[in-house]
Homo-oligomer: A and B are copies of this chain.
Amino acid sequence: MTVPFKQLQSEFKRVLLSLNFTEEKAELCATIFAENSRDGVYTHVLNRFPTFVEFIKEGLVKPGADPAIENAFGSLEQWNGNLGAGILNARFCMARAIELAETNGIGCVALKNTNHWMRAGAYGWQAAEAGLIGICFTNTIANLPPWGGLDPRLGNNPLVIAIPRKDGHVVLDMAISQYSVGKLNLYKNQNKELPLPGGYDDNGNLSTDAAEILESKRLLPVGFWKGSGLSLVLDLLATVLSQGNSTAKITQSEKESGVSQVFICMKPDNSEHTSQLIEEIISYTKTSRPEHESGSVFYPGENTLRTREKSLKDGVWVDEAIWEKVLGI
C-alpha cells in the first residue's frame, strides 16, 4: 500500500514525541525516516522503525542525548554521540564536517557512542545538497566472515561517497556485504534465486540460494578478499579516529549500539567547468552498449531521484503489516 509523505512523517513524529523526543528532534528524526522511505530504501526505514522504538524503550537509544565534542585538532574533530538517536547524531556530525570544509577546504568528524544511522546515503545527500563532497562510513555488529574464515567477525560497514551535481547528485551508498541480511530474507521468503552469488552454502560452494546462505552465515563481501579487507580498514578508521567501539566490542554487547562513524567533507570548485567535467564522465559511462536490449547504465543515485519523484506523486510505498504496527505504537 502507499501512504502520503506528509502522513508518514506525522505518524513517525507522533510516536517520537510520545517517546520523549523534543519537538525539534522529533520533527527532524521523523522527516529523515520519512525521506528514507520516500527514496525507496525500504529495508532501512519503515522496517527499522519498530526496532528503533524498542531500542529507545530498552535505553540503548537516548532521546534526550546531544553530541558533545571530545577533541579537536585543526579540521579533525572527535565527538561523543552519548548514545543519542543515530539519525540525529549523524546529521549533526555531517553538518559539522560541512562547516569545517567550508572554512578549511576539508574537514573530518569522527563520532563514537552513536546508534544505527538507518540509511547511510542520507548523509551523503546532506553534504551534496550543501554543495560539498561527502564521504562517510560506519562500523556495525559482525555479520560477515573475513576472507579465509568461517565465522562472522567483520561488519558490513556501509560506505557513502557523494558528489554534488546540478541535475541530480551522485551518491554511492554501499554496504560491504553483496546482499544485506534483509535482502536475503526477502529472496528466501519469496522463494526466489539471487541474481548473482551472495555467499556460501554449508559445503563452501558459492550459492545463489538465500536460505542456504542465511543458514551458513557466510555472506559474501563485495569482491571476495577485497571487500573483506575494505571492511576491516573501515572499522579500523572509524575506531581509531573516534576512539570508540570497534566491531569486536559492538558484537560482544550483542545489541548493535554504541557504534563508531566518520564524516569527511571537501569543498569542490563548484564552477561551470566542474559541471562539465562531471557530465563528461557520466555521459561517457552511459555510452557503453547495454547488456540487455531494454537495459541501460545508471549512475549511483540516479534511480533514487526517480523513486523520490514517484513517491511524492503517488504516495510512499509501505509494507502494510509494519505500517499497522507503527500506527499502533
Residues of A within 8 A of B (CB): 71-77, 101, 103-108, 133, 145-154, 161, 163, 170, 172, 174, 178, 196-197, 204, 206, 221-224, 226-227, 229-230, 232-237, 239-241, 243, 246-249, 251, 264, 266-269, 273-274, 277-278, 280-282, 284-292, 295-300
Closest Cβ of chain B to A2, distance in Å, is 27
Rounded to whole angstroms, the CA-CA distance of A298 and B228 in the bound complex is 10
- Asked if B73 and A267 sit within 8 Å, CB to CB, the answer is yes
Instruction: Name which of A71, A249, A264, A281 has the most chain B CB atoms within 10 A of its CB.
Output: A281
In the assembled complex, which residues on chain B have CB atoms less than 8 Å from the CB atom of A277? 239-240, 243, 246
Rounded to whole angstroms, the CA-CA distance of A239 and B274 in the bound complex is 9
Instruction: Name which of A234, A268, A285, A289 has the most chain B CB atoms within 10 A of its CB.
Output: A285
- Asked if A281 and B235 sit within 8 Å, CB to CB, the answer is yes
Cβ-closest 7 pairs across A and B:
A222-B223, A76-B105, A149-B288, A74-B104, A248-B284, A74-B105, A73-B105
- Asked if B290 and A148 sit within 8 Å, CB to CB, the answer is yes
- Asked if B289 and A76 sit within 8 Å, CB to CB, the answer is no
In the assembled complex, which residues on chain B have CB atoms less than 8 Å from the CB atom of A75? 74-75, 104-106
Closest Cβ of chain B to A233, distance in Å, is 4
Rounded to whole angstroms, the CA-CA distance of A116 and B230 in the bound complex is 23
- Asked if B153 and A280 sit within 8 Å, CB to CB, the answer is no
Rounded to whole angstroms, the CA-CA distance of A233 and B266 in the bound complex is 14
- Asked if A284 and B153 sit within 8 Å, CB to CB, the answer is yes
Nearest CB in chain B to that of A275: its residue:
B240
- Asked if A149 and B290 sit within 8 Å, CB to CB, the answer is yes
In the assembled complex, which residues on chain B have CB atoms less than 8 Å from the CB atom of A286? 146, 153
Rounded to whole angstroms, the CA-CA distance of A222 and B328 in the bound complex is 43
- Asked if B204 and A288 sit within 8 Å, CB to CB, the answer is no
Nearest CB in chain B to that of A235: its residue:
B281
